[in-house]
Structure 1
């Protein structure tokens, strides 16, 4: 490799590490996430890590930290991001004294693995936020499939950081049924307003003579349904629904769906 190629690769890795730390730092410093590393169902954790790789491949295809020319390149970038996520998570947890000599290797690996998922997402997000984005990546993310993927990504990222906390269950228990319904409607309105009504940078304009109801159903309704499905999966994989009745699960979904909906809308604006 030439010196310029080596430098470009080193800069890319440094940017990925910075993105991994910046986007995952709140989760790395959350007590519930530390305990999840050792108390979480091992099969659920394995499923979560296994699902992380295809998610990262899709991210690399849409918004990767370098221009890619095929799915093989995207897969390589996904493994690089996952490795960066593991290394940066282990370093920060070690620096904070969360992992140490008193823990067995299996316990350390479990604690790091759960944190490496948002860190690896941050590693790939570093390009769209801190680096130059390739034009073809912008075109991919502006397609319908790309926008749905970005909404799913934003919902997953924010719900991942909120779902482990006790506050989600506490808020759900304090709310009555009408408050849950109003919160769900408000979340739906937030998703639509952020992207189409509020004058944020990156907001999308509704084309003239277009069917507003069709756009609302195609993007907002579909996006919110996807948000709720992701929240349901995150709650299940973290074991947050254990022992809850159906009505309680619906209430918890409405609570978690609020930040997840904000994340889904923000992803379409920012990325």
Structure 2
């Protein structure tokens, strides 16, 4: 709380502006997607509660490992995550109202809340990314660098938590990028019409793209000490990112009811199909939102 109160009003307004911009930038496709409106109409209260819980955990992870203030306390992380979710709800309500997707006179409160909550969870992740990454000024950047130097061994601490941070960023990136496509009918159509060879090719392309992104994002200018283990590290990070992307794909597809009355093969093919996009988001997360 002290950290929030100590920031000047102008800086707080800039953070809110960044959050609103990021929320709209990363979530406008979902706000204009018919399947998302229907998902809000048919989602059960238990599903909505689960979605809110998962989204809040993602916000906590992102704000902790990739937020704007690396020296922020856990209390500040919790507060920031709640604020971002609140902004996401407000943005979703306003945009859906403007688009006439919700009405206040002939629509039940439950339906309005369901549609707003479904959209707000994606918007809130964009708010978090925008707050942390859009237009960080030099003073904030220098303060973060000075705090890490003052820790004495900050680099080692970053290495120790690097795997957890990479996994969290991969999950955020997979859901943020793959979630824009998951509700659409095209994923189901591609998966149902795909032959085994197409599914295999999609998986191989996903791994190839992940390898390229991992190599050029984390290992450009790698120190000589790490060069001996470079191939292993790239392979390890690529596989972890791809597994996280497939897990995120399975979750969002299940949430939108894409596995209902489906055979195992069709469900698996849908995961691989969406995994092409989600894996790119997971691997490129370190480039786009780190």
TM over 0.5: same fold? yes
Question: What pairs with 1:43-192 in structure 2 (closer than 5 Å)?
Answer: 43-66=46-69, 68-101=71-104, 102-132=106-136, 134-135=144-145, 143-192=162-211
> 2:17 matched to which residue of 1?
14
Q: Which runs of 4+ in 1 moved over 4 A?
A: 1-4, 65-68, 136-142
The CA deviation string for residues 105-136 of structure 1, in whole angstroms up to 9 with x for no partner, is 11111000011111111111013431325446
Comparing 58-67 and 244-253, the one that deviates more: 58-67
Q: How many residues align?
A: 267
Residue 246 in structure 1 maps to residue 264 in structure 2: yes
Cα–Cα, structure 1 residues 227 and 13, in superposed 2: closer, same or farther, change >3 Å? same
Q: Which moved more, 1:65-74 or 1:132-141?
A: 132-141
Range that drifts further, 40-49 or 233-242: 40-49
Does the 8 Å CA contact 2:93/2:116 hold for their aligned counterparts? Answer: yes
* 3-state SS in 1 of match to 2:8: helix
Aligned-partner Cα distance in 1 for 2:109–2:8? 36
* Distance (Å, rounded) in 2 between the aligned partners of 1:204 and 1:260: 21
Structure 1 residue 18: deviation in Å?
A: 1.5
Can you give the 5+ residue segments of structure 2 that lack an aligned partner in the other structure? 149-153
Distance 1:70 1:62, change over 3 A: same
CA contact (8 A) 1:12 1:65 kept: no
**1:65–1:124: 8 Å Cα contact kept in structure 2?**
no
Output the TM-score relative to the length of structure 1: 0.90
Aligned partners of 2:5 and 2:252: how far apart in 1?
44
Relative to the length of structure 2, the TM-score reads 0.85
Name which of 201, 206, 215 aligns with 1:196.
Answer: 215
Distance change >3 Å, CA 143–CA 2, structure 1 → 2: closer
Give the counterpart of 1:227 among 227, 245, 249: 245
Distance 1:254 1:207, change over 3 A: farther
What SS does structure 1 have at the residue aligned with 2:183?
A: coil
8 Å CA contact retained: 1:231, 1:253? yes
The answer to whether the 8 A contact 1:63-1:127 is kept is: no
Structure-2 change in CA distance of 1:242 and 1:3 (3 Å):
closer
Worse-superposed segment, 73-82 or 246-255? 246-255
Superposition deviation, residue 230 in structure 1: 1.3
Instruction: Tell me, yes or no, if the aligned pair for 1:61 and 1:68 is still in contact at 8 Å.
Output: no
Partner deviation per Cα, 1:7-30 (whole Å, 9 max, x = no partner): 221221122111111111111011
